[in-house]
Amino acid sequence: MLIEKPSQHKGEYDWIDLWWSYRMDSPEFNCPWCKSDDIYPLYTLYLRTEESRGERINGVWSCKKCRKQFSPVKGTRFERTKICMWKWMKCIYLVEKYNYTIHDLMDTLEVTYKTAWKMKKVALQAIKENDLLGMVL
Ligand SMILES: [Zn+2]
């Protein structure tokens, strides 16, 4: 399994916690410009503001060395997403474990058909590659 369900709860924040644990444990979590490991979060995410800009949804980190800012989804298969990571985590879990259909995903994640279709495609790719992040090195 790529994703195990959060142990105690399954609310949005639990999926987000899970995302951070995967992301921060990944070997490529460093500054995408200067590769420094000296990075820190400016702010993490805004769960209820999906209509705002993508980088705000998934958080912004900053590099102490070059002072540039970046999204923690940069370099991953989720780089261009405007969808909050809790939905991605839940989506991949539901597709992998229960083979959710596009219509199931629409209802559960409250997204449009088009979005659910795209999300399922990405989820299946991640499952096929057995790699959640799909880092572009
Ligand atoms: Zn840097």
Tens-place pLDDT, residues 5-14: 877 767 887 8
101 pLDDT higher than 90: yes
Expressed in angstroms and rounded, the spacing between residue 40 Cα and the centre of ligand 1 is 11
The Cα 89–Cα 71 span in angstroms is 17
Segment 19-71, tens digit of pLDDT: 888 888 887 788 989 999 999 887 665 554 444 444 556 778 899 999 999 88
Q: Which residue has the higher pLDDT, 57 or 81?
A: 81
Residue ranges of the alpha helices (H) in the chain?
12-25, 54-58, 85-98, 102-109, 113-129
Expressed in angstroms and rounded, the spacing between residue 34 Cα and the centre of ligand 1 is 4
Going from N- to C-terminal start, the domains of the chain cover 12-129
Expressed in angstroms and rounded, the spacing between residue 77 Cα and the centre of ligand 1 is 21
pLDDT of residue 95: 97
* The model's pTM: 0.84
Expressed in angstroms and rounded, the spacing between residue 58 Cα and the centre of ligand 1 is 19
Expressed in angstroms and rounded, the spacing between residue 70 Cα and the centre of ligand 1 is 9
Question: How many whole angstroms from its chain centre is CA 133?
Answer: 8
